[in-house]
Amino acid sequence: MKLRFSLIVIALNIAVVASLLLGATQVENIWRYLFNPGFDSASTNHLILWEIRIPRILVALLIGAALGLAGAIAQSAANNPLADPAILGTSAGASLGVVSGVLLNLADVGSVLAVFFATIGALFATALTFTWARSVGALIIIGIGTSALFSAIVGLLITATNNPEIRSISFWSLGSLALATSDSLLIITPVFLVCFFFAFKIAPQLDLLSLGDISVRHLGLSAKAIRLKAFLIIGLLVAVSVSTVGSISFLALAAPHIARILFGGKSRILTIASSLIGALILLVGDTIARSVLPPYELPIGLITSLLGAPILILLVRKAALTWK
């Protein structure tokens, strides 16, 4: 297990170096700028490295980790391998919150107010799914319906409005780190750290959910209360992710699966492993998205799906995965 964790950390470091080196513009003497932040601070190279690439890399790592963690919590809370924030409706709710805030001229993408509106939308959508589902098994079906409803509303708002700012976020809605800045880190970092702390804390309770709600009740705990705490954490993680980079598909589903295959099903291990794997997938995906067709960028959701899906399929086939 330690070897596998070490390999993921090494892969993350390689991905960071590659992301620093690759891009639409070649940065000369990049290592000198990196290890001497004050060197030629007025130059374009310094601006590209310290104001664009490094903040973007850090945002990619944190958002990827947040989505990986959210997916792991969702699958454990629902006790279902198909559960993820997109399928539960959380991501669509967050997107609707951000679009509503921008439409009302109350928020800009990536701002604190955008996170606020995204949180309201994410928690509202999750609450609908959680309330309407009469059983754990119904969570996925209800979640798909909730997601479809909120996604349709987002699409209508984007296409029907004359607000140019709303139309400009159409690409953002497909997933993009183009708007990521150092200011984004001031919002993402504390939210992720707080959510990770509480996710790690409730992880043993999430493990108990696999025993069934009746068994959890016999242990003196409330399965509904455990899921409520889990969904609150998911809502915050998804809100800060969607408000910053839009909706990124598949990552929250793939990262926990890969982590489960490599490290087992204990939730505390999964919180760490899913975060690391999610960070790796998103960073590699973003590097490809902004490097393959310079100066244009591809939607990051497309790249994460292309990266994550084959890896997941190969690992599942090799491990003959069964949900436990």
Amino acid at 109: V
Q: CB within 8 A of 193, min separation 6: which ones?
A: none
Provide the greatest CA pair distance for the chain.
Answer: 66
Amino acid at 221: L
For the chain, the structural domain boundaries read 2-319
Compute the distance between CA of residue 159 and CA of residue 103 in angstroms, rounded to an integer.
12
Sign of CA dihedral 235, 241, 243, 246: negative
Amino acid at 309: A
pLDDT of residue 322: 47
Q: Fold for 2-319, please state it.
A: ABC transporter involved in vitamin B12 uptake, BtuC (1.10.3470)
Q: Return the axis-axis angle of helices 223-245 and 112-132, rounded to nearest 10°.
A: 140
Q: pLDDT 10s digit of each residue in the chain, 324 long?
A: 788 899 999 999 999 998 988 876 776 667 776 777 666 666 777 777 888 889 999 999 999 999 999 999 999 988 877 788 888 889 999 999 988 888 888 887 777 888 899 999 998 998 888 888 777 667 778 888 999 999 999 888 888 777 666 666 776 777 888 878 888 899 899 999 999 999 999 999 999 988 887 888 888 888 889 988 998 999 999 999 998 888 887 889 889 988 988 898 889 999 999 999 999 999 999 999 888 877 778 888 888 777 767 766 766 666 555 445
Amino acid at 234: I
Task: Say if residues 110 and 184 touch (Cβ distance below 8 Å).
Answer: yes
**C-alpha dihedral (130, 300, 177, 20), degrees to nearest 10:** 130
Residues 227-241 pLDDT 10s: 889 989 999 999 999
Element spanning 134, H or E: none
